[in-house]
Structure 1
Amino acid sequence: PDNWREIVNKKLHFPPELIPAIQEGNMASVDSLLSLGDGIIRQLDESEDRLWREALNLSIRLGSEDIMTSLLLGVKFDFRQIHEALLVAVDTNQPRFVKHLLDRLDQEKGNKMDVRSFSMAIFDHSIDDSQFAPGVTPLTLACQKDLYEIVTMLTQRGHDIPLPHAISCTCLECRNGRQYDLLKFSLSRINTYRGIASRAYLSITSEDAMLAAFHLSRELRKLSKKEPEFK
């Protein structure tokens, strides 16, 4: 038992050969580098967080589902890392990968997963250099790209796009957002409305998409008078 505990708690350092192996689609090499034979999911060294994210994201961009599966089986990716991987899967319009990553989240958190947590990605320092705009969630990104299959999949899993609070709102979340990074906070609000205003979201979530679009248009006109970013 002591030996088993030592193995489980041991940090898995990022092997430099992993990226080339993923690029070459060399499954045997990937499995060997991850030491998948013992069936243990290994913890990551936080200082190598970005390297592991890049490896997972690369496997998705290259369409290497088997390699992505191996990475998920052998490495303990956390919510933030899966969140970014989901964005990559949505960005590259790969519904199978999206489903796989959502299933992984379900395994991690069970039915208690709060999908609203995706909106808190604005506070994640580790994705400051990400290609994705602040506050973008898998659903808002899918909506902006009008990816109907992925939008349907996410909404069926309980994902939605809550309307942003009024600009004058003084709730804790809004205060924290402004204090953390006002520009990010504003961009997050804009990206949220872009998702809500998309054809995919309106048609899938509204009983009357045209009526919903008219109401939203009126609201955005009002916002443009209070927030210059919405003009």
Structure 2
Amino acid sequence: MKSSMSATYSPYRDRIPLQIVRAEVELSAEERAYLTAVEKGDYAGVKHALREAEVYYNMDVNCLDPLGRSALLIAIENENLEIMELLLDHGIHTGDALLYAIRKEVVGAVELLLSHRRPSGEKQVPSLMMDSQFSEFTPDITPIMLAAHTNNYEIIKLLVQRKVTIPRPHQIRCDCVECVSSSEVDSLRHSRSRLNIYKALASPSLIALSSEDPILTAFRLGWELKELSKVENEFRQEYEELSQQCKRFAKDLLDQARSSRELETILNHRDNDQREELDPRQCHDLAKLKLAIKYHQKEKLDCSPLLRCLPALQCAAVCYTLLGGVIGCSSGGAVL
């Protein structure tokens, strides 16, 4: 019995057969040489290949390597701006190149792509290049959102200077046509899109560049993100982390005060939304600390320097109520 079983045993019996089910487009010899020249930074070789393609149509200048990269993406990855400019001058399709450059944080490449005017024929991009299933980025991700996700100050500044916008996030239970339709098609993707917007809005660099009152913006956004963490169960942790990021940013801004005058100006500053007719005797009313109470800002501040800078705060009741109760300083660190 045992001998018959051993006779039928095959070492390949417990193996899973594998085969390629998604065939890659075969590259011609000219296309391989062209992509290799881009990879090596061979400017003359790339220029020659592009000229040959214009005259003899012997290759597709928008061909992709086995990793799915076009010549332009390879040049971005290698930070070769000269070859990038050469490719753009010859009308190569840009596709997701701007998003790719932003993700790689290649500032020069981003600047070059922003200043490049697409040729009129760009709209007739081959479907393979523009099909969302071949894109590395979801449709809701815009250049400014991706730049904010990386928190790259230089790239964000380049985009903000061009008057870009970020979509305003809708309420969780918004019943507008867009939200209802998106939620019905894919509720998880709809929630992810909202998270992507808030992740961009919470970027310290974006807040610093685009907000007239970064501390107030950080306070409000931190509170809003904390509230969202209570209702968006799928992304609770992400919203909590973004809320803490905003609070740390507000704290770090306050820590930059170099003198009692600067700190006093910051703490008493009122946003336009808070303008009230005040008695002149109430001009030093610590508006920023009151905002901290309102938005539950409890990040730790070193209170000893704060109290030394502002002698007016050394009233024990005010110190304990405003500082100890709001931003979490302990009485052991304060002069009470």
| Same fold at TM > 0.5 | yes
Cross-structure match for 2:105: 93
Counterpart CA distance in 2 for 1:55 and 1:135 is: 25
User: Could you say if the C-alpha distance between residues 179 and 22 of structure 1 is closer, same or farther in structure 2, counting changes exceeding 3 Å?
Assistant: farther
Q: 1:150 to 1:32 in 2, by over 3 A?
A: same
Secondary structure, counterpart of 2:164 in structure 1: coil
CA-CA distance at 1:36 after TM superposition: 7.4
Contact 1:143/1:201, CA 8 A, preserved across alignment = yes
Q: Which portions of structure 1, spanning 4 or more consecutive aligned residues, are displaced by more than 6 angstroms?
A: 36-39, 49-52
Residues 122-137 of structure 1: matches in 2 within 5 Å? 126-132=131-137, 135-137=140-142
Name the counterpart of 2:211. 206
Q: CA deviation at 1:34?
A: 1.9
Aligned with 1:222 (options 218, 224, 227): 227
TM-score (ref. length: structure 2): 0.50
Shift of the 126–179 alpha-carbon distance from structure 1 to 2, 3 Å rule, reads farther
User: 5 Å matches for 1:171-182?
Assistant: 171-178=176-183, 181-182=186-187
Q: For the structure 1 residues 184 and 156, does the alpha-carbon distance in structure 2 shift closer, same or farther, using more than 3 Å as the test?
A: same
The 3-state SS of whatever aligns with 1:35 is: helix
Matched, 1:71 2:76: no
- TM-superposed CA distance for 1:227, in Å, is 2.0
Structure ID, larger Rg = 2
Tell me if the contact between 1:134 and 1:184 (Cα under 8 Å) persists in the aligned partners.
no
Q: Is the 8 A contact 2:50 2:61 kept in 1?
A: no
Q: Do the aligned partners of 1:36 and 1:74 also contact (CA within 8 Å) in 2?
A: no
Aligned to 1:114: none
SS of 1:16 mapped into structure 2: helix
1:17 matches 2:22: no
Higher RCO, Cα 8 Å, sep 6+:
1
Partner of 2:165: 160
TM-score by length of 1: 0.70
Q: Deviations over 1:4-60 (max 9, x none)?
A: xxxxxxxxx992322211111111221222227969xxxx799x5788853211110
**Aligned 8 A contact 2:152 2:205 in 1:** yes
Query: CA 1:192–1:50 in 2, change beyond 3 Å: closer, same or farther?
Result: farther
Gaps of 5+ in 2: 1-27, 121-128, 237-336
After superposition, where does 1:187-206 map in structure 2 within 5 Å?
187-206=192-211
- After superposition, give the CA deviation of every residue in 1:148-180 in whole Å (9 maximum; x if it has no partner): 111111001011222222233344443453355
| Distance apart, 1:76 and its partner CA | 4.5
Distance 1:169 1:149, change over 3 A: same
Structure 1 unaligned segments of length 5 or more: list them: 1-12, 110-123
